[in-house]
Amino acid sequence: MKLLFSRSIAAFAALLMAVPAQADALIDNINGITLDEHGDVVHFTGLLMTTDGRVTRLLGRKDKRPEKLDWRTDMRGKVMLPGFVDAHGHIMDLGFRSMELDLSDTHSLAEAQAKIAAYAEANPERTWILGGGWDQEKWGLGRFPTAAELDAVAGDRPIALTRIDSHAVWVNSAALKAAGITPATKAPPGGRIENGILTDAARLMIMQAVPQPLARERDLAFIQAQQMLLSKGITATADMRTTLDDWLVFRRIADKNLLRIRIISYADSIQTANRAAGGSPSPWLYDDKLKLGGVKLFADGALGSRGACLKAPYADAPKQSGQCLLTDAQLKNLMSRAAMDGFQVAVHAIGDKANAEALDAIEAVSDAYKGDRRWRIEHAQIVDPADLPRFARGSIIASMQPIHALSDRTMAEARLGPGRLAGAYAWHSMLGNKVPLAFGSDYPNDDFNPFHGWVAGFTRADGTGQPFGGWQPQERITREEAWRAYTMGGAYAAFAEDRIGRLAPGLWADFIIVDADPLLATAGDLWNMQVEQTWVGGKMMWERK
């Protein structure tokens, strides 16, 4: 692991292009496309910047190039776009998940066993083997796998593998032993322990026994995630639910001069925000690459597991309507405490009732906390159409994930029934109500390729045009509107529109080089668009090999 780590850092450092300090640099002969402050498309052929990475001018074809330049490069007509801003992601989860064993592509128990054995052999330094994605139904097994079937392939170290739906974990005897679970152990209420399978509430018994990752493992996970995001053209991201450990990783990486992406952190609690940043948001640190700006709160759970808090019962579970996690008073108190210290508040709300409660709370506290607060509702997935105008009235940002409309649609129809989809994944209605929209992906829980989200935004379909005509197509927005939400929208949502989100004088030269014009491409071609280079602050941070 140590070797791997230093090698990946060396390779990574070599990527950075040396640009002499100060004065002007010109990137010329580009097919540059950006949006202006009104969201209108602007074309340019040259980008002039300071050598420390801020845009000074966009040049048209006929504009004279300065004669005295410290540095210039010719892009040979390639397409340049502003970098994407993912308004909602989880950096460390992305990194750790990429390092874990993924069984989602296995079709039989035997295939999974072979993959587990190979992973164990390739990763001798891992004290626990962690991963997931298995599905015994896809394997055609007709039963759950057992501890003995794991012992047989890699029995020496503890193994814990989460089922595809996250509701069960499959472990071996070494993991049971490490967690102190014997045949006499009783499962907690709401859970089951059976032959190496622990479901729901019982899963925690295993998860608590997994050792916390070491600092160098966390750093490695971060570097992996950063590379993955840069490779898809994401130059800035909100990190939702930053823990104190996560914050220390970001700082450690930045102190080593390895932070290449911009991060706006929303702490997982007011305590974390205060411990990490002090009694108010941190300043922009490391040349505007890192800031702890806010706090993330949770009003409910997820729709798939029926944890989303709904005004009426689930269509496919008439006795359930989900669970709002905080009372009105609790939500208001937490918001006040965060707002009092100047932290921005981002509330996770999926169900229509959770959204209404978040809106109630914002309306109640915004009398006391005036000014430009930019209250955010994360996901805003199922909103009662009657509540939509309330977003605009409170200048509340709807932080939404267009890709969810594709990955959730069948499930959402089952959970809600056809009658309640009017305010679901309703970004057209949001814009129609003049609600500021910020797009993201909620990685690693969904596909973070921003081109996929972009296409989903204006087609309500995937790159192959499925479902035909788009799902709930009345909620499509235009190609430019979707692009804006994925760039300027995310910047605005993070109080960063004076720094990032488009290419304009005074803003950072955060851009990507791609292989085609995204405004002329078919939806299918846009879906498959490849990023060739990713630049942050005027430096090339990633390049396709």
Which residues would be at the binding site for Zn ion (CB under 5 A)? 240, 442
CB nearer to Zn ion: give 134 or 266: 266
CB nearer to Zn ion: give 245 or 498: 245
Strand, coil or helix: 26: strand
CB nearer to Zn ion: give 46 or 351: 351
Q: How far is the CB of 266 from Zn ion (least distance, A)?
A: 10
Strand, coil or helix: 480: helix
Q: How far apart are CA 75 and CA 27, in angstroms?
A: 7
Q: How far is the CB of 446 from Zn ion (least distance, A)?
A: 9
CB nearer to Zn ion: give 246 or 442: 442
Q: How far is the CB of 376 from Zn ion (least distance, A)?
A: 12
Residue least distant from Zn ion (Cβ):
442
Minimal CA–CA distance to 376: which of 476, 273, 489?
A: 489
> Hey, what amino acid is at 295?
V
CB nearer to Zn ion: give 45 or 401: 401
CB nearer to Zn ion: give 297 or 536: 297
Q: How far is the CB of 238 from Zn ion (least distance, A)?
A: 10
284 burial class (0-12, 13-18, 19+ CB within 10 angstroms)? middle
Q: How far is the CB of 514 from Zn ion (least distance, A)?
A: 27
What is the H or E stretch that residue 466 is in?
none
CB nearer to Zn ion: give 352 or 442: 442
Q: How far is the CB of 49 from Zn ion (least distance, A)?
A: 34
Q: How far apart are CA 396 and CA 375, in angstroms?
A: 5
Q: How far is the CB of 440 from Zn ion (least distance, A)?
A: 9
- 304, 315 contact by CB (below 8 A): no
Length of the chain: 545
The order of strands in the sheet holding 290-298 is 84-89, 234-242, 262-267, 290-298, 344-349, 376-379, 397-400, 437-439
Q: How far apart are CA 15 and CA 20, in angstroms?
A: 16
CB nearer to Zn ion: give 240 or 310: 240
The secondary structure of 291-333, three-state, reads EEEEEEEECCCCCCCCCCCCCCCECCECCCCCCCCCCHHHHHH
Q: How far is the CB of 369 from Zn ion (least distance, A)?
A: 24
Q: How far apart are CA 40 and CA 253, in angstroms?
A: 36
